Structure 1
Amino acid sequence: MARVHKISRRVQNIRISATKLMPMLAARIGGCVSLGQGVPSFPTPPHIAEAVSRALRDEPGIGKYSLQPGMPVLREVIAGRLAEEKGFVVDPGTEVGVTVGAMEALLMTMLTVVDRGDEVIVPSPGYASHAEQVLMAEGVPVYVPLRPADWGLDVEAIRAAVTDRTRAVILCNPGNPTGTVYDEADVRALCALALEQDFVIISDETYDFMVYDAAGNPAPMPFSPASLPEMRDHVICINSFSKKYALTGWRVGYVAADKRWMDELLKVHDAAAICAPTVSQYAALAALTGPQDCVDAMRSALCLRRAQTCAALDGMADHFSYVIPRGAFYVMARYRFSHAASPEVARRILEEARVITIPGGSFGPEGEGHLRLSFGGEQEELAECFSRLGAWVRENA
């Protein structure tokens, strides 16, 4: 009799996120357009591709491992950016680690901070993989609702959720899936609570470059908890090159933290990946040191797509309500035409309208009754998405 091999509890307790599952389902259906996965439509900027091409010809070490925490010159540039943009002063030699995207940096952090049974507070709705990574670390995600009127941070609700098992609070700012940008006063209040209750803020700053003002134009980066010197031992800062520089497929990001944390984080990095791909680190270096007009162009395009998305939803006001996004390229749209659970609604829209959306319930309890819509796609595709979605709700609502 064949032996049945046991699957570990940590794997049985997690699942593939809906942001990945819905495009997989769409691929089987065919002919779909996407408001789903958060991948901007922009190609990798030419100057980055050209810099990597030169390095492939001229740098013999590009096909080999880099130093385990990353190329020294890249860590130096990252440290310079952190100091310039956030006032977060770190030693590039001991307090910056280059990772396989922000996702590896997040998982490294969870496995370093969280023991079995420890609690991590996850604002809800929140990025689905944050909670899955807490579960992978055998911790307990504790969902705390955001303010429903504006998806703002409810620090008093977080205070009420803190227990003697609380080890961390996840702060994703700007937010995925809500498109929120947390007010500086609320972030400062959360930092004060972290110091008072001795927990860590895991600061996911992947979308920090994409903030809108009231008129829908690009605005300054949100306030980072890493900018406060007193938070030195209580914050782990994580970022990515994926969205800002259209490097999603290159899989490169970084983590920055006090040396006490970094020494432990790099143990996980060594066991999981050894180092980030060296070729991708060259791409990241070219991104940071090259011209930044590509970022400005992407921001301007996303501003137009945001306006297009809001206008389309306003045209379906009988069927959807939403909070205007202040950052990232997502909007959480509450549907008014059905009491069905969000996975069922998203599946029907996929199968009947051939439009990919992401069920809001996958982002935590407060996401139920919503669909996350991404406006990262080209304007032509967005127009087709909303044309199909509008026709579908008129017929089925």
Structure 2
Amino acid sequence: MPLQSKFPDLGLTIFSRMSALAQETGAINLSQGFPDFAVDADLQAGVTQAMAAGHNQYAPMPGLPALRAAIAAKFASAYGLAVDANSEITVTAGATQALYTAIAAVLRAGDEALILEPAYDSYAPAIVAQGALPVRVALAPPSFAVDWDAVAAAITPRTRLIIVNNPNNPATSVFSRADLDALAAIAERHDLLVLSDEVYEHLVFDGRQHASVLSHAGLRARSFAVYSFGKTFHATGWKIGYCVATPELTAEFRKLHQYLVFSVSTPMQAALAQHLAEPTHWQGLAGFYQAKRDRLAPGLEAAGFRLLPSAGTYFQLADYRAIRPDLGELAFAEWLTREYGVASIPVSAFYADGRDHGLVRFCFAKREDTLDAAIAKLGRLARG
């Protein structure tokens, strides 16, 4: 019996494509969003110590109690929020699994879910897998501010869920308190649930403060919020994240979570619990990454790029049209990789219709010598 694909139009992701091209050409890979520097030595040692101490069997389905307690303590310290470690926190196999689980727990066939584009590429496939329809509301450069009137206009009787990403990858924009107020008003008016992807919560720059849906009275009871230890502690390959929601929403989330992964790597959870308990391990992340942003930015500008504001995440968007106005985004990204040895991501890949604004995305979560080498290669652009 022939298999009928649920995703006939999906192929290799743009991240795999550009990383493969970078490897093939020997280019510096500023495309895919992963650090090229080491995980904290104490955190690595904590995994070894946890294994030696016998933490090698299944963890409890919601996550190790020590880790959930450390997460709750972090919310109290960072945001003044009371989150119940037992009934509101679930440790997941990365943020993407948490996103999928929340989407699958909420949506049924025929439902609709709103996503704001440019959007992280896992949202729409997870919606489609449930037999539901992704409804897209486009954001525009340079600010990528949300037009909340357009969001409200996109809602139909079938709309069940709004998915937001704050700070936004790839737009690098961050929500204000007014954005949360507008989101809450829409969600309350139409009785919608909210899924908030907040994996870059600690990477907010220039004195801004992260505005979580969990901190808003009108959103707290109707929101799932998703986070990533991979982003926070430079360990994307560990694939450990967590979801925070009210006890009622968490109960539904866990019904599916237990059959998707049941539980997550025990020794890594134990090490993360110990590491997270020390606030200095996450409190300085904004300054750490802002320095990297500010190291890369002058080199990009000197090469001829026009930079868009980078308010959060570890990405920088750059307008290349003064360099090669004749090329679309994908063609430019491939040309830059092959001819100048630096890989980026076309922002058009984050729109379902592939709309082209003449923008590429660079990742600055790299060692200083990696950033300097990329700047040196791109310097040839200015020299012709």
- 2:262 alignment partner in structure 1: 274
- 2:39 alignment partner in structure 1: 44
Give 1:390 shift.
Answer: 3.9
Task: Judge which range, 115-124 or 249-258, deviates more.
Answer: 115-124
Measured at CA, do residues 240 and 276 of structure 1 come closer, stay the same or move farther in structure 2, by a change above 3 Å? same
- 2:19 alignment partner in structure 1: 23
* 8 Å CA contact 1:349, 1:392 repeated in 2: no
- Equivalent residue pairs, number: 380
Distance 1:220 1:48 in 2: 28
Measured at CA, do residues 232 and 297 of structure 1 come closer, stay the same or move farther in structure 2, by a change above 3 Å? closer
Structure 1 unaligned runs (5+)? Answer: 214-218
Give 1:87 shift.
Answer: 4.3
- 1:216 alignment partner in structure 2: none
Give 1:239 shift.
Answer: 0.5
* 8 Å CA contact 2:275, 2:281 repeated in 1: no
Distance 1:230 1:110 in 2: 20
Task: Judge which range, 169-178 or 338-347, deviates more.
Answer: 338-347
- Alignment partner of 2:72: what SS? helix
Among 235, 243, 261, the alignment partner of 1:247 is 235
- 1:234 alignment partner in structure 2: 222
1:86-108, Cα deviation, whole Å (9 max, x unpaired): 34433322221100111110110
Measured at CA, do residues 235 and 366 of structure 1 come closer, stay the same or move farther in structure 2, by a change above 3 Å? farther
1:113 is the counterpart of 2:102? no
* 8 Å CA contact 2:203, 2:285 repeated in 1: no
- 2:276 alignment partner in structure 1: 288
- Alignment partner of 1:128: what SS? coil
Superposed, which structure 2 residues align to 1:19-98 within 5 Å?
19-27=15-23, 29-58=24-53, 60=54, 62-98=55-91
Among 306, 311, 314, the alignment partner of 1:329 is 314
Measured at CA, do residues 368 and 356 of structure 1 come closer, stay the same or move farther in structure 2, by a change above 3 Å? same
Paired AA for residue 273 in structure 1: V
- 1:149 alignment partner in structure 2: 142
Measured at CA, do residues 135 and 322 of structure 1 come closer, stay the same or move farther in structure 2, by a change above 3 Å? farther
Give 1:267 shift.
Answer: 2.2
Give 1:170 shift.
Answer: 1.7
Provide the aligned C-alpha RMSD in A: 2.2
1:113-148, Cα deviation, whole Å (9 max, x unpaired): 222332222212222222332233333222212242
Among 150, 154, 158, the alignment partner of 1:161 is 154
1:190 is the counterpart of 2:183? yes
Distance 1:367 1:284 in 2: 40
- 1:380 alignment partner in structure 2: 369
Distance 1:169 1:255 in 2: 16
Structure 2 unaligned runs (5+)? Answer: none
Distance 1:368 1:117 in 2: 32
* 8 Å CA contact 1:17, 1:129 repeated in 2: no
* 8 Å CA contact 2:118, 2:350 repeated in 1: yes
1:291-344, Cα deviation, whole Å (9 max, x unpaired): x43445554332222112221232234xx3232201111122222123433222
| Off by >6 Å, runs of 4+ in structure 1 | none
Give 1:227 shift.
Answer: 1.1
Distance 2:332 2:228 in 1: 32
* 8 Å CA contact 1:252, 1:284 repeated in 2: no
Paired AA for residue 79 in structure 1: A
Give 1:394 shift.
Answer: 5.7
Distance 2:277 2:253 in 1: 26
- Alignment partner of 1:188: what SS? helix
Paired AA for residue 262 in structure 1: T
- The alignment's TM-score, normalised by the length of structure 1, stands at 0.88
Distance 2:133 2:28 in 1: 36
1:6-40, Cα deviation, whole Å (9 max, x unpaired): 1431x43544431233112322x142102111112
Measured at CA, do residues 129 and 339 of structure 1 come closer, stay the same or move farther in structure 2, by a change above 3 Å? farther
- The alignment's TM-score, normalised by the length of structure 2, stands at 0.91
- 1:315 alignment partner in structure 2: 302
Distance 1:262 1:13 in 2: 33
- 2:133 alignment partner in structure 1: 140
Distance 2:193 2:302 in 1: 43
Give 1:49 shift.
Answer: 1.7
1:232-253, Cα deviation, whole Å (9 max, x unpaired): 3311011011121122121111
Distance 2:340 2:31 in 1: 14
Give 1:389 shift.
Answer: 3.0
- Alignment partner of 2:267: what SS? helix
Measured at CA, do residues 188 and 394 of structure 1 come closer, stay the same or move farther in structure 2, by a change above 3 Å? farther
- Alignment partner of 2:232: what SS? coil
* 8 Å CA contact 1:175, 1:327 repeated in 2: yes
Paired AA for residue 42 in structure 1: F
